[in-house]
Amino acid sequence: VPTSRKPRTGGATEPGGAVAGRPAAVRRAQRDSYHHGDLTNALTEAGVQLARTGGPGAVVLREAARKVGVSATAAYRHFANHGDLMYALKQRCQAILADWMRRELAAGAPVDDPAEDALRQLSAIGLGYVRFALAEPGLFRTAFCHTEPSRLAASAEGSTSAEPAGNEPDELPDLDSFPSYRLLTQILDRLVELGRIPAHRRPYAPMHAWSSAHGLALLLLDGPLAALPETERDRAIQATLQLVIDGLTAP
Amino acid sequence: VPTSRKPRTGGATEPGGAVAGRPAAVRRAQRDSYHHGDLTNALTEAGVQLARTGGPGAVVLREAARKVGVSATAAYRHFANHGDLMYALKQRCQAILADWMRRELAAGAPVDDPAEDALRQLSAIGLGYVRFALAEPGLFRTAFCHTEPSRLAASAEGSTSAEPAGNEPDELPDLDSFPSYRLLTQILDRLVELGRIPAHRRPYAPMHAWSSAHGLALLLLDGPLAALPETERDRAIQATLQLVIDGLTAP
DNA sequence: TGTACATCAGTGAACGCGCGTTCACTGATGTAC
DNA sequence: TGTACATCAGTGAACGCGCGTTCACTGATGTAC
């Protein structure tokens, strides 16, 4: 009699912040008893360490469990399988990326003119994006790694198996998985309000901006721009970001 | 001791060009004897098939040998190890990418005005780039997969182990591994000659153009723009490429 | 307040698998004489 | 032209490894009465 009790569907925890919806007594990460207390987060964090060093390919469920000091089997109480862990890691890395962008945003001194300041912000998040990629290539690759659609079946019961059609570029699928995207669109919105970006260009502005930053980052990591000496690199980043801004703000 | 000879299957024709530096009698891909004749290419091609289906992670040396109908050991006569195979595949996929770009280039009708035609060409190679990524995601990921510096030790004997410094953005390392890059720079050069791109913008123009195309492709595959419906997608691609051109050609 | 009991969250052992790689070998080929 | 022999390019068996995952289990926890 196979009583395959399927364990928890993972990811009840949120990335990059406090754990919600759990008693505080249970939140401690240190293991001081038979029960760990917060294995989901601990495993995710261990997975992040693995990804940091070796990229998505280095994420090994058993190794993550080992790092936490827990049997490999225990992981299956929190993630349905390896792919589930990967998905959680991808989300986590996306959150970290957004953190880097926010940090860069906060690091710069605000400018008096609101429009100029918005442009500064646009440049800052782009810089944060690229700097994250260069500083944490493993996490960056994980943030954009290919995860199979083997994602645990979406709970939506009215499942017409056809893909959801009719998305506008502004209401993208899985948008919440990409907090950095929101960061970007907010700044772009402000620039349109302030008249620095023509309204007709707004719909595809996020794609343009993000594509540039993303491509730049990846080319510097694994493309023809890898091994560009650092000083050149920094100048190139600045110049490329400036070109993006020029393109967006051109009348 | 019966030596059951594996009957060859499959017609691994050679990819995209003639093989140089081998006697013609040996060049045939069909195995009609104990010796294969062109195992290096055959294994590479088999690897491409694996990468096509499952991306770089699916490239398995043993499986490639199996596909070719050869023992796994035989591969070690042609590649030092698995990483070596991967490096060859990466190069091969880069070549295929360039093919797609050239095809798109040839598909469009030339325009009379030389400057306009150069702009058309710029747009075309960008389109080819993105279309390749969407049509062959596995190959695209392989073309830009991270390969370790475990590359077989460069034969240069005067090896000062320091990295070669002083690269200009125009004389990039490993440039020959990226034929698509050359394609791009040639078109950009022409646009500068013809006065459509300000000369001061030329140094970083390739980064800008390529970053945009690359980022766009990857965002459509694994980023927040994945699952964008196809019609939207095509328009978005066109619009983004246009924005790049606007940025480059702005006075 | 104490106790029975369902449930949650761990455990260790084991499985099957397929990988990369090495080994000693052998069949085929090309070259010197 | 024939032959000895070095070298090239294959072979099958085997190794060690570590993975993802399953299994039957047990310790800890929370709740009803």
Which nucleotides on strand C sit less than 7 A from a protein beta carbon?
9-14, 18-24, 27-30
Chain A residues touching residue B229 (CB < 8 angstroms)? 163, 165-167
pLDDT at B165: 39
Nearest residue by alpha-carbon distance to C1' of C29: B35
B 99-158 residues inside an 8 A Cβ radius of A: 137, 141, 144-147
Residue B50: name the closest of B75, B21, B29, B30 by CA.
B75
Distance B6 CA to C33 C1' (A): 37
Residue pLDDT, tens place only, B54-103 = 999 999 999 999 999 999 999 999 999 999 999 999 999 999 999 999 99
Residue A192 has pLDDT above 60, yes or no: yes
- The per-residue pLDDT for B207 is 93
B220-248 pLDDT per residue, tens: 998 888 878 999 999 999 999 999 999 99
Give pLDDT, residue A226.
85
CA of A56 to C1' of D24 (A): 33
Q: Do B214 and A219 touch (CB under 8 A)?
A: yes
Range scoring the smallest mean pLDDT among A55-64, A144-153, B150-159? B150-159
**For residues A124 and A122, what is the distance between their CA atoms, to the nearest angstrom?**
5
| pLDDT grade for A31, boundaries at 50, 70 and 90 | low
Q: Tell me the mean pLDDT in the region A76-84.
A: 96
- CA B148, distance to chain mean position in Å, is 17
Whether residue A47 contacts residue A130, with contact meaning beta carbons closer than 8 Å, is answered with no
Q: Please name the residues in contact with A127: beta carbons below 8 A apart, sequence gap of 6 or more.
A: A104, A237, A238, A241
In angstroms, rounded to a whole number, what is the distance separating the alpha carbons of residues A58 and A165? 35
Predicted confidence at residue B31, as pLDDT, reads 59
The answer to which of A235-239, B175-179, B186-190, B205-209 has the lowest mean pLDDT is: B175-179
Distances (CA, A) of A222 to A158, B105, B181, B207: 42, 25, 14, 13
pLDDT score recorded for residue B144: 93
| Cβ-Cβ contacts under 8 Å for B9 (sequence gap 6 or more) | B69
Query: Residue holding tokens 């010796």?
Result: B35
Q: Has residue B35 got a pLDDT over 80? A: no
Rounded Cα distance, B130 and B137, in Å: 10
- The 3 state secondary structure assigned to chain B is CCCCCCCCCCCCCCCCCCCCCCCHHHHCCCCCCCCCCCHHHHHHHHHHHHHHHHCHHHCCHHHHHHHHCCCHHHHHHCCCCHHHHHHHHHHHHHHHHHHHHHHHHHHCCCCCCHHHHHHHHHHHHHHHHHHHHHHCHHHHHHHCCCCCCCCCCCCCCCCCCCCCCCCCCCCCCCHHHCHHHHHHHHHHHHHHHCCCCCHHHCCCHHHHHHHHHHHHHHHHHHCCCCCCCHHHHHHHHHHHHHHHHHHHHCC
Cα radius of gyration (chain A): 21
Task: Examine the pLDDT at B40 and tell me if it is beyond 70.
Answer: yes
Amino acid in position A129:
Y
pLDDT of residue B176: 77
pLDDT of B190? 98
**Per-residue confidence (pLDDT) for residue A147, from 0 to 100:** 82
How far is it, in rounded angstroms, from Cα A43 to Cα B43? 39
Please answer yes or no on whether B239 and A204 come within 8 Å at the CB atom: yes
pLDDT: is A29 or A232 the higher one? A232
Residues A134-155, mean pLDDT to the nearest whole number = 76
The pLDDT value given to residue A36: 80
> Which residues 179-218 of B have a C-beta within 8 angstroms of A?
181, 201, 203-205, 207-208, 210-218
The mean per-residue pLDDT over the stretch A90-99 comes to: 97
Average pLDDT score, chain A: 81
User: Does the pLDDT at position A159 exceed 70?
Assistant: no
Contacts of B188 in chain A (CB under 8 A): none
State residue B32's pLDDT score.
Answer: 60
Enumerate the residues of chain A whose CB falls inside 8 A of the CB of residue B243: 201, 204-205, 208, 247-248
Instruction: Return the higher-pLDDT residue of B33 and A55.
Output: A55
Q: Taking all residues of chain B, what is their mean pLDDT, rounded to a whole number?
A: 81
- Strand D nucleotides below 7 A of a protein CB? 9-14, 18-24, 27-30
Mean per-residue pLDDT for A190-209? Answer: 96
Confidence grade of residue A222 (pLDDT, cut at 50, 70, 90): confident
pLDDT score, position A25: 34
**What is the pLDDT, as a whole number, of residue B149?**
54
For chains A and B, CB pairs below 8 A equal: 174
Instruction: State residue A34's pLDDT score.
Output: 67
For residue A180, pLDDT over 70 is answered with yes
Distances (CA, A) of B115 to A189, B82, B163, B194, B210: 34, 46, 39, 6, 20
- Decide if pLDDT at A119 tops 80: yes
